[in-house]
Structure 1
């Protein structure tokens, strides 16, 4: 399967749509800041075309399972190419088959649902 096929917005009925949160950690860089390495990963994610949002300790990303996995792989490869001899990543991935997901907005919609519930507390 080609990268172009993985990154197309339409999915086959068998492919799972994944929402993921991952934290990529460059190691052995002899620097206390890893910002340059994380910026390189951000460039990779932008090129992937997948919906993603970086936050203080990781990144939310969503799309077809294989494309999400490929994007995380490509981040590892880019961070190694930038000079990090080791890269560790924690990943949480969720999928749903009980409802139609708003592709590209699944993580945003989950957050909005909680915010709407909390707004009722006021």
Structure 2
């Protein structure tokens, strides 16, 4: 299972706020029952099969265009560990157990 951090930022919208676009992306995520996701203050974390996650990232990248943006800057970071099963929760627990 892969964990992907994604941040989708519309550029040139006339406003410094992006919460409207983030909310629109999360409406798309609510329809994706095959993955887990978590909103954070700076990005959204996705968890699931890598091919599926990349498909979802593509959908998220398109969301601002559907709201009138003419340029979108999307960043992704992928943690694809194949030697054992992992999850968002397990990664956090691993750190918290050492505190």
The TM-score with structure 2 as length reference comes to: 0.92
Structure 2 stretches of 5 or more lacking a match? none
> Any runs of at least 4 consecutive aligned residues in structure 1 with deviations exceeding 4 A, and if so which?
none
**Equivalent residue number for residue 12 of structure 2:** 28
Cα shift readout 1:48-69 (whole Å, capped 9, x = no counterpart): 1210001111011011111101
In the alignment, which of 34, 51, 69 is matched to residue 36 of structure 2?
Answer: 51
**Separation of aligned partners in 1, 2:55 and 2:93:** 28
Match of 1:93 among 57, 78, 97: 78
Any stretches of 5+ residues in structure 1 without a counterpart?
1-16
Is 2:97 the partner of 1:116? yes
1:100 offset after TM fit, Å? 2.8
**SS at 2:88 equivalent:** helix
What SS does structure 2 have at the residue aligned with 1:48?
coil
- 1:77 is matched with which residue: 44, 52, 62? 62
CA RMSD of aligned residues (A): 1.1
Structure with max Cα Rg: 1
**Paired residue total:** 98
What TM-score do you get using the length of structure 1 for normalisation? 0.75
Greater relative CO (CA pairs within 8 A, separation 6+): 2
d(CA) in 1 for partners of 2:84 and 2:26? Answer: 30
Q: CA deviation at 1:89?
A: 1.1
Indicate the SS of the match to 2:92: helix
